[in-house]
A and B are shown apart, each in its own frame.
Chain A
Amino acid sequence: MNLIRFRILFLITVALSIVGGFGYLTVSSFDQYSRINRNLNTSFYLQDKVEGLDVWKFSNSTLEDLRNHRRVLPEEHRANALSDIIQAYASRNPTTLRKRSDFFVRNEVEYRKYLFPLVYYLERRIEYFGLITLASMVLALLISYLYLRRALFNEIDSLSRKMVDFLNQRYTYQFTVPSPNEMGHLQATFNSLAQRVLSQMDELKSLDRAKSDFLSIASHELRTPLTSIKGSLSLLKTGVVGKLTDACANLVNIAEQETDRLIRLINDLLDLAKIDARKLPLTKKWTPISELIKPCLDSLQGLARTANVFLVSGELPPVEVNMDKDRVLQVLTNLISNAIKFSPKNSTVTVSVVVDESDRLVFKVTDQGKGIAPEDQELIFQKFRQATNAENPLVKGTGLGLAIAKALVEEHRGVIGVDSTPGVGSTFYFTLGEWRFNVKEQQSADPQSPTGVAA
């Protein structure tokens, strides 16, 4: 019986029976009242009619009217008196008619005297019961509203407040003792839901912790032995611990190169794992792009010369970008060194930065290589994927560079992609999300301009 639905049902039943009871009393009183009123009207009508009877102006229709009324008069003595009058009227006896109509009128007046207090009584009754019906209706509505507010609306409000709190990460969700009804069930369900969410959050947190622990341990444990191997090989190569034969030097060289490759691979993998786990802290700063492009080109000129490739850059727009310079440098270096590696001899790799028509800052690296087949263009940004490159011996990558570049660009709210025509060349491009024009840079970059001289 604690269930809210039973209580509401009970409330409705009680309210309906009270309202219905008093309503019935009101309606039945009104019914009685209107019947009596009808009787009174009939009585007045008959009295008028009887008083107006005149044997000299006898009419059949009047006689018929009286006969009809007589048939429906409920009281016997009134019906008898009216019968007498009809008889006298029909026999056209004025004396008898006079006498009998006097008697009839007296009789009717007596009859009405008996009815009048009844009418008065019924009027009071109708008023009284009508008011009670109305009042009990209002009361029933009020009680229902108050009960619903207490049992449902207040509880729903508090539940939704607690849900909002929960969403805002204030965990005061606990309902101490859920009441034994539907709201209580809801509260208990919410309690267990919240507990499950919290315990899963804890689980996620510990998983996350385990993941970063693993990352830092793995990076330390993997790098330490490699450092020793690399150091030992480097010392062997110098020859200070003993002159190496040519064959030995060759082997040491191979070992060193492969160690370098392993170190690169491990660094790339750990970078990627860190980005995946959102453990790569980006230190973003507003930096003019010239501070990014120029050192990057300078450091790659050596590689370009080795590969007999011209590395040039277009004019840079005067913009600055909110970025982690080292990380964007990593992306750019990766794209440019890829372009150099895949370029034929005596071709040109062009680096340019433009603001495109949809107001994006686009970095472009264009080569004149043999291009990338359309089916490979999506593939190359995935981990451990490289487009097939049988001929080019310079190409020795981990297959992770572009995947890392993609992740890093996405961390900067940008996109990365490639436009390529097989046989003509490829343009790798990426955008960076936060950039703005830098007016100061524009002025200082062009000191020969009239404003520069005036200043």
Chain B
Amino acid sequence: MKILLAEDDPNISVIAKIALEHIGGHQVHLATNGRMALEMALSYDFDLILLDEMMPEMNGLTTCRQYIAKKQEPAPVIFLSAKSQESDIREFTEIALGYIPKPFDPATLNQTIYRIISKSQRAEAA
């Protein structure tokens, strides 16, 4: 898959990139803030977008809303967030495919992503 990863912490984005590339065999492109992520997501076609919620310039939720509004066939979006309040989770799952709580284990990141995707596919099928 061609994945866009938007994450402002360089270390965490490198770890996630290695996990996705080496374990999952995906192709990962990095964005370091919301505005950059939105521009990249609008200019190129990705199979999956991983959005950190807390980013400079524009937060994840806003980026996601603008992306879905502007892109003709938006790719599925998964949030990465340290927020764990029920209201926040509801907000994430309303506009995106799902969310991965931070801190995540990079060794199992790919499995987590596949689980979210297959869960939403099952939900669609049903």
Contacts and interface: CB of A to CB of B under 8 A. Distances in A.
A231 B23 contact: no
Given A223-B103, A234-B105, A228 B23 contact: no
Given A223-B103, A234-B106, A238-B107, A228 B22 contact: no
A224 interface: yes
Interface in B103-122: 103-107
B22 A231 contact: no
Interface string A190-233: 00000000000000000000000000000000011111101110
A228 B12 contact: yes
A228 B107 contact: no
A240 interface: yes
Nearest to B10: A228
Contact of A227 (B12, B19, B22, B23): B12
A228 B11 contact: yes
Contacts of A234: 105-107
Interface of A: 223-228, 230-232, 234-235, 237-238, 240-241
Contacts of A227: 12, 102-103
A241 B18 contact: yes
User: How extensive is the interface on chain B, given as a class?
Assistant: 10 to 19
A23 to B, nearest CB: 84
B15 interface: yes
Going nearest first, the 6 A-B pairs with the smallest beta carbon separation are: A227-B103, A228-B11, A240-B22, A231-B15, A231-B106, A234-B107
B57 interface: no
Nearest to A242: B22
Contacts of B12: 224, 227-228, 231
Nearest to A230: B103
11 contacts: A223-B82, A226-B103, A230-B105, A231-B105, A231-B106, A232-B11, A234-B106, A235-B22, A237-B107, A240-B18, A240-B22
Contacts of A223: 82, 103
A230 B108 CA distance: 13
Nearest to B15: A231
A230 B105 CA distance: 8
B9 A235 contact: no
Contacts of A231: 12, 15-16, 19, 103-106
Nearest to B104: A231
B103 A240 contact: no
A230 to B, nearest CB: 7
A241 B16 CA distance: 13
Contacts of B82: 223
B19 A235 contact: yes
Contacts of B23: 238, 240
A228 B15 contact: yes
Nearest to A240: B22
Contacts of B103: 223, 226-227, 230-231
A153 B19 CA distance: 80
A235 B12 CA distance: 12
B22 A241 contact: yes
Nearest to B12: A228
A238 B11 CA distance: 18
Given A225-B11, A240-B22, 4 more contacts: A235-B15, A235-B106, A240-B19, A240-B23
B107 A232 contact: no
B18 A235 contact: yes
A337 to B, nearest CB: 21
A301 B12 CA distance: 34
Contacts of A235: 15, 18-19, 22, 106-107
A227 B82 CA distance: 11
Interface string B5-37: 000010110011011001100000000000000
Nearest to A231: B15
A416 B18 CA distance: 47
B15 A232 contact: yes
Contacts of A224: 9, 12
Nearest to B22: A240
B32 to A, nearest CB: 15
A279 to B, nearest CB: 15
A329 B124 CA distance: 35
A227 B100 CA distance: 14
